[in-house]
Amino acid sequence: MRGPGSLRGLSLPLLPPVLDLSANPSAARRPYRAPLATLFAAALLATTAGCAGGLDEPERFTGGTSSCAPGTTGASIIQAQCLSCHSTEAKGSAGGGFDLQASGLPGRLYTTNAACNSKPLADSANPSESFFLKKLTPSPGCGAQMPLGGSMNAADTACLTQWLVAGKPSP
């Protein structure tokens, strides 16, 4: 028979470790940290997950409404409707030498004169009545209606009007 100190060959169940509070008395107070950290993480996620929109959508921050269809901007309309003639590449050969692709729009429209009447394309006193927008109508006053061979729908024209007015330089 084996003595009491001999445990060879015996299989004893493992017991969970005992929390020794005398070694670390603050361990008894730690359980509150996990729920607090979870609460903090949830609050952080809640405040960052519900962002109102990007800076390319300022109406979402100001509460204003947009004349543009969802996913449409003045720049996207110009890209789709105008750049085949009025791009940086086509500047010398088409579009009367007027480049709508170069940077600085819509502000540059306020300092650029029309080829057919030498008036500024955009009127800083009344941007919504600018020659740039009149060129989108059947009777622009001089030259042909834009885009050549077609016309813009009312929603795109309203979107471009809003884009031009929003881009008016500060006095």
Render pLDDT for 56-87 as a digit per residue (tens, 0 to 9).
544 444 445 678 888 888 889 999 998 888 88
Range of the domain at 121: 70-166
In a domain, 134, yes or no: yes
- Quick check: 100 and 108 in contact, CB under 8 A? no
- Report pLDDT digits (tens) over 143-158: 889 998 888 999 999 9
116 has a pLDDT exceeding 60: yes
In a domain, 100, yes or no: yes
Q: Please give the pLDDT value at position 105.
A: 84
In a domain, 75, yes or no: yes
β-pair partners for 113: 120
User: Beta-carbon neighbour count of residue 57 at 10 Å?
Assistant: 13
Q: Which of 17-26, 107-116, 162-171 has the highest mean pLDDT?
A: 107-116
Distances (CA, A) of 123 to 70, 113, 120, 152: 27, 10, 6, 21
Q: Report the C-alpha gap between 129 and 127 in whole angstroms.
A: 5
- Quick check: 109 and 165 in contact, CB under 8 A? no
Contacts 24+ apart (CB under 8 A), 134-140: 136/160
